[in-house]
Amino acid sequence: MMTAQNVQQWLESSLGQYLIEHEYRYYDQVVANIFGYNAVQIGWSQFDFLRLNRMPLRFFVGLESEASLRAEAGFLPIQTNSMDLVILPHTLDFNVNPHQILREVHRILIPEGHLVVSGFNPFSLWGIGRHLKSMRREFPWNGDFIALSRLKDWLKLLDFEMAGGRLCCYAPPFKQEKWRRRLSFMEAAGDRWWPISGGVYFLHAIKHMHGMRIIKPDWKKCLDAKKKMAPIARKIIKVSKQDRSSNNPNQISDLNKSR
Protein backbone atom coordinates (compact mmCIF):
# COMPACT_ATOMS: atom_id res chain seq x y z
CA MET A 1 0.00 0.00 0.00
CA MET A 2 1.33 3.42 -1.00
CA THR A 3 1.65 5.83 1.92
CA ALA A 4 2.60 9.48 2.21
CA GLN A 5 5.97 8.39 3.55
CA ASN A 6 6.64 6.27 0.44
CA VAL A 7 5.72 9.21 -1.78
CA GLN A 8 8.03 11.54 0.11
CA GLN A 9 10.88 9.04 -0.08
CA TRP A 10 10.48 8.77 -3.85
CA LEU A 11 10.39 12.57 -4.24
CA GLU A 12 13.61 12.82 -2.22
CA SER A 13 15.33 10.19 -4.36
CA SER A 14 17.61 11.00 -7.29
CA LEU A 15 14.82 10.47 -9.81
CA GLY A 16 12.39 12.49 -7.72
CA GLN A 17 14.81 15.41 -7.47
CA TYR A 18 15.31 15.22 -11.23
CA LEU A 19 11.55 15.67 -11.64
CA ILE A 20 11.24 18.46 -9.05
CA GLU A 21 14.09 20.37 -10.68
CA HIS A 22 12.18 20.50 -13.96
CA GLU A 23 8.98 21.42 -12.13
CA TYR A 24 10.63 24.39 -10.43
CA ARG A 25 12.20 25.50 -13.70
CA TYR A 26 8.85 25.80 -15.45
CA TYR A 27 6.74 27.17 -12.58
CA ASP A 28 9.37 29.80 -11.73
CA GLN A 29 9.29 31.05 -15.30
CA VAL A 30 5.50 31.20 -15.66
CA VAL A 31 4.15 32.35 -12.28
CA ALA A 32 6.64 35.22 -12.03
CA ASN A 33 4.79 37.04 -14.83
CA ILE A 34 1.25 36.51 -13.54
CA PHE A 35 -0.07 39.41 -11.48
CA GLY A 36 -3.02 39.80 -9.15
CA TYR A 37 -3.83 39.50 -5.45
CA ASN A 38 -4.52 35.85 -4.56
CA ALA A 39 -2.70 32.67 -5.61
CA VAL A 40 -3.12 29.09 -4.42
CA GLN A 41 -1.20 25.87 -4.98
CA ILE A 42 -3.32 22.72 -4.66
CA GLY A 43 -1.25 19.65 -3.88
CA TRP A 44 2.43 18.92 -3.19
CA SER A 45 2.54 21.61 -0.51
CA GLN A 46 6.05 20.53 0.52
CA PHE A 47 7.32 22.26 -2.63
CA ASP A 48 6.79 25.99 -3.03
CA PHE A 49 6.12 26.38 -6.74
CA LEU A 50 4.77 29.89 -6.07
CA ARG A 51 8.05 31.14 -4.66
CA LEU A 52 8.68 33.66 -7.47
CA ASN A 53 5.11 34.90 -7.70
CA ARG A 54 4.58 38.42 -6.34
CA MET A 55 0.94 38.30 -5.28
CA PRO A 56 0.35 39.49 -1.69
CA LEU A 57 -1.59 36.34 -0.69
CA ARG A 58 -0.10 32.94 -1.55
CA PHE A 59 -1.15 29.76 0.22
CA PHE A 60 -1.24 25.96 -0.15
CA VAL A 61 -4.19 23.57 -0.09
CA GLY A 62 -3.81 19.84 0.48
CA LEU A 63 -3.70 17.05 2.99
CA GLU A 64 0.03 17.39 3.66
CA SER A 65 1.23 18.76 6.98
CA GLU A 66 2.85 21.70 5.16
CA ALA A 67 -0.49 22.86 3.71
CA SER A 68 -1.82 26.25 4.82
CA LEU A 69 -5.39 24.97 4.37
CA ARG A 70 -6.11 21.27 4.82
CA ALA A 71 -8.90 20.31 2.43
CA GLU A 72 -9.78 17.94 -0.40
CA ALA A 73 -8.90 19.27 -3.82
CA GLY A 74 -12.41 18.53 -5.11
CA PHE A 75 -14.18 20.46 -2.34
CA LEU A 76 -12.42 23.74 -1.74
CA PRO A 77 -13.57 26.02 1.09
CA ILE A 78 -12.64 29.07 -0.98
CA GLN A 79 -14.90 31.90 -2.09
CA THR A 80 -16.20 31.88 -5.66
CA ASN A 81 -14.42 34.23 -8.10
CA SER A 82 -11.69 35.10 -5.60
CA MET A 83 -8.41 33.63 -6.96
CA ASP A 84 -6.18 35.14 -9.61
CA LEU A 85 -3.91 32.10 -9.99
CA VAL A 86 -4.32 28.37 -9.29
CA ILE A 87 -1.60 25.78 -9.89
CA LEU A 88 -2.09 22.01 -9.86
CA PRO A 89 1.25 20.15 -9.64
CA HIS A 90 0.25 16.56 -10.55
CA THR A 91 -2.95 16.97 -8.52
CA LEU A 92 -5.12 15.48 -11.27
CA ASP A 93 -2.87 12.41 -11.67
CA PHE A 94 -3.63 11.08 -8.20
CA ASN A 95 -7.31 11.87 -7.68
CA VAL A 96 -10.27 9.66 -8.52
CA ASN A 97 -12.36 12.61 -9.76
CA PRO A 98 -10.23 15.07 -11.73
CA HIS A 99 -13.33 16.59 -13.35
CA GLN A 100 -14.57 17.76 -9.96
CA ILE A 101 -11.23 19.40 -9.22
CA LEU A 102 -11.33 21.32 -12.48
CA ARG A 103 -14.90 22.45 -11.80
CA GLU A 104 -13.83 23.72 -8.38
CA VAL A 105 -10.86 25.51 -9.90
CA HIS A 106 -13.15 27.15 -12.46
CA ARG A 107 -15.46 28.24 -9.65
CA ILE A 108 -12.84 29.92 -7.48
CA LEU A 109 -10.98 31.62 -10.34
CA ILE A 110 -11.91 35.16 -11.31
CA PRO A 111 -12.71 35.86 -14.97
CA GLU A 112 -9.39 36.02 -16.84
CA GLY A 113 -7.77 34.10 -13.95
CA HIS A 114 -4.84 31.77 -14.65
CA LEU A 115 -4.50 28.00 -14.22
CA VAL A 116 -1.19 26.14 -14.51
CA VAL A 117 -1.24 22.32 -14.51
CA SER A 118 1.53 19.74 -14.56
CA GLY A 119 0.98 16.05 -15.18
CA PHE A 120 2.63 12.82 -16.25
CA ASN A 121 2.34 12.00 -19.93
CA PRO A 122 0.98 8.45 -20.48
CA PHE A 123 2.42 8.40 -24.04
CA SER A 124 6.05 8.58 -22.99
CA LEU A 125 8.85 6.47 -21.55
CA TRP A 126 7.51 7.46 -18.12
CA GLY A 127 4.07 6.18 -19.04
CA ILE A 128 5.40 2.70 -19.88
CA GLY A 129 5.96 2.03 -16.19
CA ARG A 130 2.19 1.96 -15.62
CA HIS A 131 1.99 -1.20 -17.73
CA LEU A 132 4.85 -3.07 -16.06
CA LYS A 133 3.77 -5.38 -13.28
CA SER A 134 6.91 -4.66 -11.27
CA MET A 135 6.34 -0.88 -11.31
CA ARG A 136 2.64 -0.11 -11.55
CA ARG A 137 2.14 -0.29 -7.78
CA GLU A 138 4.94 2.16 -7.11
CA PHE A 139 4.74 5.93 -7.07
CA PRO A 140 4.25 7.68 -9.46
CA TRP A 141 3.20 4.84 -11.79
CA ASN A 142 0.27 3.97 -9.55
CA GLY A 143 -1.45 7.19 -10.66
CA ASP A 144 -4.00 7.68 -13.40
CA PHE A 145 -2.03 9.61 -16.02
CA ILE A 146 -4.24 11.92 -18.11
CA ALA A 147 -3.37 12.48 -21.76
CA LEU A 148 -2.60 16.05 -22.69
CA SER A 149 -5.19 16.08 -25.48
CA ARG A 150 -7.89 14.89 -23.09
CA LEU A 151 -7.01 17.55 -20.53
CA LYS A 152 -7.23 20.23 -23.20
CA ASP A 153 -10.71 19.01 -24.14
CA TRP A 154 -11.84 19.15 -20.51
CA LEU A 155 -10.55 22.69 -20.13
CA LYS A 156 -12.19 23.86 -23.35
CA LEU A 157 -15.54 22.59 -22.07
CA LEU A 158 -15.04 24.83 -19.03
CA ASP A 159 -14.29 27.86 -21.27
CA PHE A 160 -10.56 27.87 -20.60
CA GLU A 161 -8.30 29.19 -23.34
CA MET A 162 -4.85 27.67 -23.80
CA ALA A 163 -2.13 30.26 -23.17
CA GLY A 164 1.02 28.11 -23.25
CA GLY A 165 2.76 24.96 -22.14
CA ARG A 166 5.64 22.60 -22.77
CA LEU A 167 6.95 19.07 -22.15
CA CYS A 168 10.10 17.91 -20.37
CA CYS A 169 11.80 14.84 -18.87
CA TYR A 170 12.53 13.07 -22.15
CA ALA A 171 15.13 10.74 -20.66
CA PRO A 172 13.96 7.34 -19.39
CA PRO A 173 13.05 7.33 -15.68
CA PHE A 174 16.10 5.36 -14.52
CA LYS A 175 16.66 5.34 -10.79
CA GLN A 176 20.44 5.46 -11.24
CA GLU A 177 21.68 8.95 -11.98
CA LYS A 178 24.62 7.69 -14.06
CA TRP A 179 22.26 6.20 -16.63
CA ARG A 180 20.24 9.43 -16.88
CA ARG A 181 23.45 11.37 -17.42
CA ARG A 182 24.47 9.07 -20.27
CA LEU A 183 21.13 9.78 -21.93
CA SER A 184 21.11 13.49 -21.17
CA PHE A 185 21.29 14.24 -24.91
CA MET A 186 17.64 13.18 -25.11
CA GLU A 187 16.65 16.26 -23.11
CA ALA A 188 18.19 18.64 -25.64
CA ALA A 189 16.83 16.73 -28.62
CA GLY A 190 13.40 16.03 -27.18
CA ASP A 191 11.71 19.34 -28.01
CA ARG A 192 12.94 19.12 -31.58
CA TRP A 193 12.68 15.46 -32.53
CA TRP A 194 9.96 13.96 -30.35
CA PRO A 195 8.14 16.91 -28.69
CA ILE A 196 5.03 14.96 -27.70
CA SER A 197 6.87 12.19 -25.84
CA GLY A 198 8.10 14.11 -22.81
CA GLY A 199 7.50 12.37 -19.51
CA VAL A 200 5.91 15.46 -17.93
CA TYR A 201 3.73 18.16 -19.49
CA PHE A 202 2.80 21.65 -18.35
CA LEU A 203 -0.29 23.54 -19.44
CA HIS A 204 -1.15 27.20 -18.89
CA ALA A 205 -4.81 28.20 -19.38
CA ILE A 206 -6.92 31.31 -18.81
CA LYS A 207 -10.55 31.32 -17.70
CA HIS A 208 -12.94 33.22 -19.96
CA MET A 209 -16.53 34.17 -19.19
CA HIS A 210 -19.07 34.75 -21.96
CA GLY A 211 -21.41 37.32 -20.41
CA MET A 212 -24.38 39.33 -21.63
CA ARG A 213 -24.47 43.05 -22.24
CA ILE A 214 -27.61 44.51 -20.70
CA ILE A 215 -29.13 47.19 -22.92
CA LYS A 216 -30.82 49.83 -20.79
CA PRO A 217 -33.09 52.66 -22.01
CA ASP A 218 -31.44 56.06 -22.18
CA TRP A 219 -33.48 57.68 -19.45
CA LYS A 220 -31.63 60.99 -19.78
CA LYS A 221 -32.69 61.46 -23.39
CA CYS A 222 -36.25 60.53 -22.52
CA LEU A 223 -36.35 63.09 -19.72
CA ASP A 224 -34.83 65.79 -21.92
CA ALA A 225 -37.41 65.16 -24.60
CA LYS A 226 -40.16 65.28 -22.01
CA LYS A 227 -38.97 68.64 -20.73
CA LYS A 228 -39.13 70.15 -24.23
CA MET A 229 -42.83 69.26 -24.61
CA ALA A 230 -44.71 72.32 -23.39
CA PRO A 231 -48.50 71.70 -23.04
CA ILE A 232 -50.79 74.22 -24.81
CA ALA A 233 -53.57 75.45 -22.58
CA ARG A 234 -56.96 75.67 -24.13
CA LYS A 235 -58.89 78.77 -23.35
CA ILE A 236 -62.44 78.02 -22.40
CA ILE A 237 -64.94 80.89 -22.38
CA LYS A 238 -68.20 80.44 -20.59
CA VAL A 239 -71.13 82.08 -22.28
CA SER A 240 -74.20 82.82 -20.30
CA LYS A 241 -77.68 82.15 -21.54
CA GLN A 242 -78.31 85.87 -21.75
CA ASP A 243 -75.36 86.33 -24.10
CA ARG A 244 -76.52 83.46 -26.26
CA SER A 245 -79.96 84.93 -26.57
CA SER A 246 -78.55 88.32 -27.46
CA ASN A 247 -79.01 89.43 -31.05
CA ASN A 248 -76.04 91.78 -30.97
CA PRO A 249 -73.98 90.67 -34.00
CA ASN A 250 -70.88 92.47 -32.78
CA GLN A 251 -70.90 90.53 -29.54
CA ILE A 252 -71.30 87.22 -31.34
CA SER A 253 -68.41 88.10 -33.65
CA ASP A 254 -66.17 88.88 -30.69
CA LEU A 255 -67.07 85.55 -29.09
CA ASN A 256 -66.19 83.66 -32.26
CA LYS A 257 -62.84 85.40 -32.48
CA SER A 258 -61.99 84.58 -28.89
CA ARG A 259 -62.57 80.92 -29.59
**Mean pLDDT of residues grouped by 10 in the chain (259 residues)?**
76 93 96 96 95 97 92 96 98 95 97 97 89 83 93 96 93 81 72 79 92 57 58 55 55 50
| Domain positions in the chain | 4-207
Maximum CA extent, the chain: 133
In order of 33, 86, 91, 258, the CA distances from 205 in angstroms are 14, 10, 16, 81
Which residue type occupies 231? Answer: P
* Separation of alpha carbons 26 and 46, rounded Å: 17
* Separation of alpha carbons 180 and 140, rounded Å: 18
**Which residues are paired to 167 by β-bridges?**
201
User: What pLDDT sits at residue 256?
Assistant: 52
In order of 84, 110, 209, 227, 253, the CA distances from 206 in angstroms are 10, 10, 10, 49, 85
User: What pLDDT sits at residue 180?
Assistant: 78
User: What pLDDT sits at residue 82?
Assistant: 97
Which residue type occupies 118? Answer: S
Cβ count within 10 A of residue 219: 8
Outline where the chain has alpha helix (H): 4-11, 14-31, 98-108, 125-128, 148-157, 177-182, 185-193, 219-228, 241-245, 249-258
Evaluate if pTM is beyond 0.85: no
User: What pLDDT sits at residue 252?
Assistant: 47
DSSP 147: P
User: What pLDDT sits at residue 255?
Assistant: 46
Q: Domain 4-207: give its CATH code.
A: 3.40.50.150
